[in-house]
Amino acid sequence: MCTQGVIQLIGKPVNEKQTAVSFNLLPGSDPGAMGCFLSVWEGTRILPSSYALQTRKITSGEIFGEHIFDNLSIGKKNYIIGLGIDMGKVTETIVATLSLTTSALFNVPLPAVCSNISVDSDHIGTDFLIAHFASPYCNQIQANKKWIALFQGEFGPGIYKGKNMIATSKAAPYQYTGSIIMKNIPKGLARFETYTLIFGQGLDKSGNLDYTKLISSCTFIVWRSKIYIGACATSLFLPSSPVLFNAI
């Protein structure tokens, strides 16, 4: 079991023209540096912010807040609301969505999809792990730059500077949901130790992971791990996987 940190997006229609939306970013985030924004599109597809009906830029220091989208035709048209990062860049990505359909009811929370990352105890090995992540699918041309990073200890301010980072892995291009294997973790995963997995987006100017753009976190304790005999971590999902033994 892990303790997750998730960018939250909550909303509800308040009348025939307006929908109220509130958001909450991860602690320590700088929405200005992240290029955070809220947008609403007509229809059911997420598109670049340049195609949105309305967009509101989230400013630095505003890790939580509220916004009203108005001049909508609620009950007559479908809309989708998204919270994104890297506004206007080729790496622009939506990290949370709300579905505002014609059947939406006033003052009833809208269905939400929020990005998250997790790891199961059965997918933690002596020197590797398999992380499971999910994020909204976006109809965008550019490939995303999603990645995961493993840190020693609990979630804290040092993560935004890459402090105590142990290992990293990148998602495949255009991969929005699935699993990422992190292999050959230096010094392995110690039993009873605390670690934090970070789900992030984007690279810095030097091509390294941009630790200022965090989407989700997962803090966990290694109560036990698996030792795989005669096979690598990638064989976990194959029928021919070897017998697993709990590490003592």
- Which residue segments constitute the domains of the chain, with CATH numbers given? 2-114 (2.60.40.10), 116-246 (2.60.40.10)
What is the band of 168 on the pLDDT scale with cuts at 50, 70, 90? very high
Q: What is the pLDDT of residue 140?
A: 54
In sequence order, the β-bridge partners of residue 77 are 74
Q: What is the pLDDT of residue 243?
A: 30
In sequence order, the β-bridge partners of residue 65 are 23
Per-residue pLDDT for 200 more than 50?
Answer: yes
Per-residue pLDDT for 144 more than 50?
Answer: yes
Residue 33 belongs to what H/E stretch?
helix 31-34
The mean pLDDT value for 172-189 works out to 85
The mean pLDDT value for 126-155 works out to 83
Q: How far is CA 222 from CA 1, 24, 33, 130, in A?
A: 9, 29, 33, 13
Condensed to tens digits (0 to 9), the pLDDT of residues 26-79 reads 999 999 999 999 999 999 988 889 999 999 999 988 999 999 999 999 999 999
Q: What is the pLDDT of residue 225?
A: 62
DSSP states of 150-188: EEESS--GGGGGTTTEEEEEEPPTT--EEEEEE-S-TT-
Q: What is the spatial distance between Cα 199 and Cα 118, in angstroms, rounded to a whole number?
A: 9
232 vs 3, more confident: 3
Per-residue pLDDT for 223 more than 70?
Answer: yes
pLDDT > 90: what percent of the chain? 62
Q: What is the pLDDT of residue 156?
A: 93
